[in-house]
Amino acid sequence: MSRGFGRRWPWLALGGVALIAALVLAWALQQLYRDADRMPQGGPIELPSTVGEFSLARLDDDQLAVVFFGYTHCPDVCPMSLSVMRQALARLDPETRQRVVPLLISVDPARDDLARLRQYVGFFGPQFIGATGSQAQLSDIADRYGVFWRKVEAGDSAMGYTVDHSASLFIVDSDGEILERVMYSPTPGLLSEALGQVLAAHR
């Protein structure tokens, strides 16, 4: 009887592996459907900004905003993303360029006051707007746009702390509807392609 069990053992083991794989697949599918339910809903953005009180609702009917969540002390992703926005805008003709509002929302309001934001976004062009707000305001917008961030202590660094954060770009209309979510890229190709398609459809 023990010899019979020994012969069956590999098949029992394979069956156990298959069962575990099936359970993992079911869990993954459940997570996928759950994430689909949590797709960013977007919505209004109203914040103090470098041009006064900013509101998506004040955009012209044919205008769009490209929204990025970051902070001015960011060592790499933020300046790269804003440079990508600048390059994508430069590829548009002057008239079309006026239809796009590049917006940086700082998730580090403790260090990024409007004066610092004004200086920072000025490096990327006069069309760029910097905005921030209270933690409550930022948390509300971040929740609706599916954005996360967290403070990370930087030890003995002169910066004190850094902020890990989402790096997507959002193309939105005056209602805050997310027309495209563009993943992070160090080159402007993805954003340029998305802008071209959205601008052509949004007239």
The kind and range of the H/E element at 196 are helix 189-201
**Which pair of tokens denotes residue 48?**
């103090």
**Would you state the pLDDT for residue 9?**
54
User: Would you say how long the chain is, in residues?
Assistant: 203
pLDDT digits (tens, 9 = 90+) for 13-59: 445 544 444 443 444 334 333 344 456 899 999 999 999 999 999 99
Q: What's the pLDDT score for residue 202?
A: 83
pLDDT at 176: 97
Neighbours of 166 (CB within 10 A): 17
Cβ(120)–Cβ(86) below 8 Å: no
Query: Could you read off the pLDDT of 75-124 as tens digits, one per residue?
Result: 999 999 999 999 999 999 999 999 999 999 999 999 999 999 999 999 99
What is the tens place of the pLDDT at every residue in 126-182?
Answer: 999 999 999 999 999 999 999 998 988 877 766 689 999 999 999 999 999 999 999
Mean predicted confidence (pLDDT) in 195-199: 96
At residue 203 the predicted structure's pLDDT band, cuts being 50, 70 and 90, is confident
Dihedral sign for Cα atoms in the order 117, 119, 124, 129: positive
Contact 127, 102 (CB under 8 A): yes
User: What single DSSP character describes residue 77?
Assistant: H
pLDDT digits (tens, 9 = 90+) for 61-70: 999 999 999 9
**β-bridge partners, 153:** 161
pLDDT at 186 over 60: yes
Tokens of 47: 């914040």
Structure-block tokens of residue 160: 């004190």
What the block records as the tokens of 45 is: 């953005």
Which pLDDT belongs to residue 28? Answer: 39
Question: Quick one: pLDDT at residue 23?
Answer: 43
Position with higher pLDDT, 195 vs 30: 195
pLDDT at 34: 39
Comparing 7 with 117, the larger pLDDT belongs to: 117
3-class DSSP assignment, residue 172: strand
